[in-house]
Every structure is written in C-alpha cells, then in structure tokens.
Amino acid sequence: MVTEKRVADSVVKNSEREKVIVKTSIIGIIANVFLSAFKAAVGTAVNSIAVILDAVNNLSDALSSVITIVGAKLSGKAPDKKHPLGYGRIEYISQTVVAAIVLYAGVTSLVESVKKIINPEKADYSVASLIIISSAIVVKLILGLYVKKKGKAVNSGSLTASGSDALFDAVLSLSVLISAFVYIIFDISLEAYVGVIISGFIIKSGIEMIKEAVDEILGHRADEELPKKIRETVLSYPEVCGVYDIFINNYGPDKNICSLHVEVSDKMTASEIDGLTRKISEAVYLETGVIIVAIGVYSMNPDDSEAGKISADVRKTVFSHEGVLQMHGFYLDEEKKSMTFDIIIDFAVKDRNGLYETIKKEIAEKYPDLKTNITLDIDVSD
C-alpha cells in the first residue's frame, strides 16, 4: 500500500543518497579536470594523438560527473500532485545524456585516430611525459575503485558506470604508456592504432550505458533476488498458501512499487484478509524497501477433495504443452459450476495466444459441465 510516510521515507533516503553521489562526483570532476589538463599538455608537447585522446576522454568523464550531479539533484525532488511517485526516473535520463557524450567523444576520437593513420606524425616522448602518464594511471585506478565502491553502496548506476569507466581508463592509459616504450625502444609508432583501440572501447562503453538507461526507462524484468525475497517474506505468513504475479515497477534507484497475488483459503473473511494484506505490505517494505500498491487474492479449496482431483487433472493437461511455465489460482465453485485458474506461457513460445486458446479448448472439452475461466498471465518475474 502506498502511504505518505513510505513515500516520505524514500525521499529522506534519496536525500542522503544524493549527498554521496554529489560528493563523489565532485571528487571525480576535480581529478578528471586535472588529468585532462596534464594529458593535453603532454600530448601536445610530445605530439601524441593517443595521449590527447586520453585527455579528451578524461574531460568527457568530468562532464559526465556534472550531469550525474544535475540528475541526482532533479531526481531527488519531493513528490507532488503531478508526479506522486517522485522524479527518480530523471536519473536514467541523465544517464542517457552522459552516454551520448561518451559516445560522441568515442566517435570523434576514432575519426582523429584514422586521420593520424592515413597521415602519420612522429611522437617525441620525454621522461617527464612518461612520469605524468604513469601518475595518471595510478590516479585513475584509485579514483575508479573509490567511485565504483560508492556507486554500489548507494545503488547508483551512473556512479558505478563512472567507476568502471575510470578503471578502464587506467588500462587504456597503460596501453598508451606501453606504446610509448615500444616507440622509444623499437622506433615503432603505435600511437594512432592505440587511439583507434581507445576510441572503440569508448564507443562500446557509451552504447552499453545507453542500453542500460533505456532498459530502465522502458521497464525490465526484476533481478531474481528481489522477487525471491518478497516471496519468502509473504510466505512466512501461515495463512498464505502461494504467492504469484509479483510485478515490480521501478521509479528510480531504490524506489520500487510492487503488486502481487496471494492464495488463501476460501474460509477466510474479508476482515481477516484485510488484516493479512496490511501485515504483508508492512513486512515487505521493512524487509526489502519495496512499496506494495495492491495485493490481489486467489481463493482456494483447501478441504475439498473433489476440487483437488480436478485441479491435479487440469494441471496435468496444462503442463502437457511445452512452454507452459506456471499454473496457479485454481478455484472450483461447485455452486456456480465453474472453475478458474491462471497460466503463464513462456515468451519464447512463438504463438502464445494460439497455445492459450488450445488449452482453453482442451479443458472445456474435458469438463463440458463446468464453465471455464482461464487467464493468461504475463511472465513478469522469476
């Protein structure tokens, strides 16, 4: 159940989370600006396209951190009438902008590197330049580990991605250093080719970031652990015989809204069910931080042997078809001469509706005296 208190609690959590993101991003901005300036100076002095492109990459990282801060600030706005569940998804939009900047930097770097392959220019490395590049590797390594750790701690996709990118930058800077030593020792220039490799990895990183952000905006299947934890919490109540249709919507990092179905005895009263669903909502929120907006109820015949026999027979028929993942919510109403249940069919089945109609027809033919109501559920979680 969505309550003002739970939404307010999420705002407080987001405020603390925002402080961590801003502080970490500022550290990243300062480090990347200094690294970019040093590398640009070194790259220009020694005429190294690889070092210059590495400097551009650091500058794009700094800009990405700025956008991360803006996104965190906007996504932390309190809910209002227009957006009652808050502005958390803005962070995914900011992540898309960051990804677009990274992608642009990668494409630009690739073009410049190819130009250098066509029209090569010799580099001239000094001891000072090699020391600066080596120092940059160490700084990026430390920065990457720090940012990634903070990103995981506050569940920030942008920070985690920035940390991973920084660690990767350390590897790329190492490749520039190696190419410099190859040139000094063997007089073989790998500058432009290393630039192409760096560009390729930058482009790959940008595409992956865009894909991740788009997945969040579109809505994707919840990770296996979260539905599992919710199911375990709900099943801890003895009145609950089954938990199904766990549907989780994400409204920003650490802001999940959920609906689900519970299977309970048909002997329970409305007031008993009401009390149970309230306890379940509270427990799930305390255990997982997920806010339950609705709990549907499946009634079952726990003491009816006839219903049990029919249910077992129907289940056998349903699962005789390949691609059926689940059958649940079976209820036999002898007074109305009807039976109701839901099935879930794998998305891998090409004609899901066709299989659904086939199952409906088979059950109807097998039990002509019973009115059959079968619902085709969506496979939303594990």
151-165, 252-266, 343-357: which is most confident? 343-357
pLDDT, average across residues 353-382: 93
13-22, 27-36, 37-46, 110-119: which is most confident? 27-36
Domain with CATH 3.30.70.1350 in the chain: 225-377
Q: State the pLDDT at residue 273.
A: 96
What Cα–Cα distance (Å) separates residue 39 from each residue in 60, 82, 174, 375? Answer: 13, 47, 13, 62
Answer whether residue 261 shows pLDDT above 80. yes
Answer whether residue 8 shows pLDDT above 70. no
Residue pLDDT, tens place only, 227-242 = 999 999 999 999 999 9
pLDDT, average across residues 240-255: 89
Instruction: Domain 225-377: give its CATH code.
Output: 3.30.70.1350
Answer whether residue 23 shows pLDDT above 70. yes
Q: Which two tokens stand for residue 199?
A: 């560009």
Q: State the pLDDT at residue 80.
A: 84
What's the chain's average pLDDT? 85
Instruction: Domain 4-218: give its CATH code.
Output: 1.20.1510.10
Q: Which two tokens stand for residue 8?
A: 């307010």
Answer whether residue 90 shows pLDDT above 80. yes
Answer whether residue 124 shows pLDDT above 80. no
CA separation for the pair 108, 5 (Å, rounded) = 49
Phi and psi angles of residue 93, each rounded to the nearest 5 degrees, phi first? -70, -45
CA proximity to 6, closest of 219, 191, 254, 218:
254
CA separation for the pair 359, 377 (Å, rounded) = 14
